[in-house]
Chain A
Amino acid sequence: MELAGTEAVFFYILALFTLVMAIALVTAPTAVRGALYLMATLIGVAGLFLLLHAEFVAGAQILIYVGGVVVLFIFVIMLVNIRAEINEPFRTYTRQRRLAAVVVIVMVLGVWYFGIQQDPFHLVRQGPVVALIPPPGAPPPPVEEPTLGGRISEDTQEVGSVLYTKAALPFEIASVLLLVAIVGSVVLARTRRQEETFD
């Protein structure tokens, strides 16, 4: 896999955008702004999906996450009164923030050291160019047609065929999961009086 030229530039732009928005999310002073930053982050990731030729997942990401989950977040923010966060701006972080920061920094540095210097998976040394060489015995990589001519991606069709053949059972289980989630949320969000009335 290799992104070259314009695609690499886009990668830089999107990666930078996503990281900045993610940092803005975890440092957001209020939850509403956090939700908006989350939305920006998710759109950035969707853009990265597009770079990776995963058009369907990118679409699903925007529809479900941005259109569904983030809106749900905003609704809940609306329902719970979080004026406390505005009134107490200095209590944004918990009391274990320093310890947590140390752990996270150690984690990042550790991965930086082990993952890149030591390179246990031989990903970096092989490098982007070397990784293109297929392993012995593997079929040759598919030749990509030029996409600028408006060729319609078959990504959705292929995802669908995998989803309905190999992943049919998980697919059904996921539908049950969603049903359970619906019922669970209804049960959880009942008021006291509703509970007393119906139980």
Chain B
Amino acid sequence: MGLFSKKNMEALNTPLLKENPVTVQVLGICSALAVTSKLAPAIVMGLSVTIIVAMANVIISLIRNTIPSRIRIIIQLVVVAALVTLVSEVLKAFAYDVSVQLSVYVGLIITNCILMGRLEAFAMQNKPWPSFLDGIGNGLGYAMILVIVAIVREIFGSGTLLDFPVIPQCVYDAGYINNGLMLMAPMAFFLIAIVIWVQRAKDKSLQE
């Protein structure tokens, strides 16, 4: 079986849209809402989750035949917690500002349902390489939603993108003001709802 056979590419592609972890599988919502008031933390969070899901998938898939099924949840949690600790220490060392902005949400990657969901549903039954691709696909699908929501919230909420002003001063002079509600919790819910709405209007098979 080739490394990039059709089946493997499916593991990578389907989580991006058709099986998107946030909007279709309803996993990992907590952090998707909390870190999206600015674009930079959203990108960092998306990348961290992608790396952690891929690594955890590979590790669990490598030892899947030796794990007794009764205690598998605890083993999965320990593997994930160790990886999250690593990522959190790296963030503290190289991107301190972002790690302060993300605050507890880095630690909460441990209880992010995407992790447990993918480990249980995919890595426990599949070989390391497809598991790796599945992890990357799900991580990117998650990051994509984060980035979409964060772009909208940052542009309309604070008029910047990655902290560069994008709304010209003349617009402000004409009486435009930033929408403070965009930065608050409720708007994150509404924006995800809109993303889901658009996706389901396009793909009728997802409707309930």
**B is a partner of A:** no
